Homo-oligomer: A and B are copies of this chain.
Amino acid sequence: MKRRVAVLGATGTVGQRICDLLRDHPWFEVATLTGGASTGMRYGDAVRWLLPSDVPFQDMVVRSSTPEAIEADLVLSALPSGVAKKVEPQFAEAGFPVVSNAGAHRMDPDVPLVVPEVNPEHVRLVEEQRGRRGWGGFIATDPNCSTVNFVLGLRPIQDLFKIKKVVVTTMQAVSGAGYPGVPSLDILGNVIPFIVGEEEKMRRETLKILGRMEGGIVREAGFSVAASCNRVPTVDGHLETIYIEAEERIDLDDVREAFRNFKGEVHGLNLPTSPTDPVILREEEDRPQTRLDSMAGSVPGMSVSVGRVRHGIDDRALQFVVLGHNTIRGAAGCAVTLAELLAAMGYL
């Protein structure tokens, strides 16, 4: 029997992607969709559907984002961060497991921030969280879209050498800003070298995700991150150039091997939305490319692609490129996979 899911904020860009991924999910069925201004409308009428596919769940009536309004075994939240800050704890207190894509609670010490293929063991933080807050439910979060790609690019090589610092520059697609998001007058034929809050998020979230569970807490990873985040005129897919310095000499063949062999830390669990190869190594000199490779993977859009593996200023420095689909791998798909992980680990 499938678990019943409520999607909070189902009309937004991430909410739409979640609904799209849950159309025929083997473990979950969508039981409730919630919205803000559109409460009471048919989902088919309420949503401005932005994907090429047909609108799913058209005849469901959009409910308000309150615990009383929904029936579900778990809650997937695509709420705006400001709303999530207030609403998600209400759901957790009311006993719901909440998997959130919002930024509101990611950095709370007792809230897991998880990319299942990267740091699944962090979900155990929910025990700490429940104990401390006295909740029947809990909140588990996935990271910001540019962070997801970033940590998937770093995880396979994290244990190869001791990372000292990482300098990253992102070229992010407009879908990352939601809808209506970036005005076309701002981005056509343009690059905007600033995304509010993004660089700090990439730094802090990455160190938490790549940190280690010790006792009931996460010890942050011990390296430095400097990010430069840019908006470019692409639709889907965040491409990132990465420069890493290590304590020791880096063997490029080891790096390529590690990328090739990476199956993710949840490999044995057969999570339906986690792809066979969470990281795909491209050998061509001009790949990955945003338009060609964003939908890569056995679950389309769920694998990140890496390429252009080479040394930096010397052989203790490594450079490469990582690309991932920002609303699938970087948001909706990551949240769904996290829900699957929680199911597989018995937390639902």
On A, residues with C-beta under 8 Å from B are 13, 50-52, 165, 167, 169, 171, 174-175, 179-194, 224-226, 228, 230, 232-235, 237, 239, 241, 243, 285-293, 295-296, 307-308, 312-314, 317, 319, 321, 323
Question: Given A193-B288, A241-B193, A290-B189, is A228 in contact with B169 using a C-beta cutoff of 8 Å?
Answer: yes
Whether B317 contacts A226 by the Cβ 8 Å rule is yes
The 3 closest A-B pairs by CB, nearest first: A224-B313, A180-B183, A169-B169
Whether A193 contacts B233 by the Cβ 8 Å rule is no
Whether A191 contacts B239 by the Cβ 8 Å rule is yes
Whether B319 contacts A228 by the Cβ 8 Å rule is yes
Contact for A293 among B52, B225, B226, CB less than 8 A: B52
Residues of B within 8 A of A181 (CB): 183-185
Contact for A226 among B191, B243, B321, CB less than 8 A: B243
How many copies of the chain does the oligomer comprise? 4
Shortest Cβ gap from A167 to chain B (Å): 5
Shortest Cβ gap from A32 to chain B (Å): 26
Contact for A234 among B191, B288, B291, CB less than 8 A: B191
Question: Given A226-B319, A295-B52, is A235 in contact with B185 using a C-beta cutoff of 8 Å?
Answer: yes
Whether B286 contacts A193 by the Cβ 8 Å rule is yes
Residues of B within 8 A of A287 (CB): 193
Give bound CA distance, A50 to B187, whole Å.
11
Closest B residue to A238 by beta carbon equals: B191
Residues of B within 8 A of A230 (CB): 171, 239, 241
Shortest Cβ gap from A81 to chain B (Å): 19
Shortest Cβ gap from A129 to chain B (Å): 31
Residues of B within 8 A of A292 (CB): 50-52, 190
Shortest Cβ gap from A340 to chain B (Å): 25
Whether A228 contacts B193 by the Cβ 8 Å rule is no
Shortest Cβ gap from A110 to chain B (Å): 27
Besides A182-B185, A190-B234, 14 new A-B residue pairs in contact (Cβ under 8 A), listed by A number: A167-B312, A167-B313, A175-B185, A179-B183, A180-B180, A184-B186, A189-B235, A190-B291, A192-B286, A193-B286, A193-B323, A194-B286, A194-B308, A232-B232
Closest B residue to A237 by beta carbon equals: B191
Q: List, sorted by A's number, 21 A–B pairs whose CB atoms are closer than 8 Å.
A: A52-B291, A165-B313, A169-B228, A169-B241, A180-B183, A185-B235, A187-B188, A189-B233, A189-B290, A192-B289, A193-B287, A193-B308, A193-B321, A194-B308, A224-B314, A226-B243, A226-B313, A228-B241, A228-B321, A230-B241, A243-B243
Closest B residue to A174 by beta carbon equals: B184
Closest B residue to A291 by beta carbon equals: B190
Shortest Cβ gap from A300 to chain B (Å): 9
Residues of B within 8 A of A186 (CB): 180, 184
Whether B188 contacts A235 by the Cβ 8 Å rule is yes
Residues of B within 8 A of A174 (CB): 184-185, 188
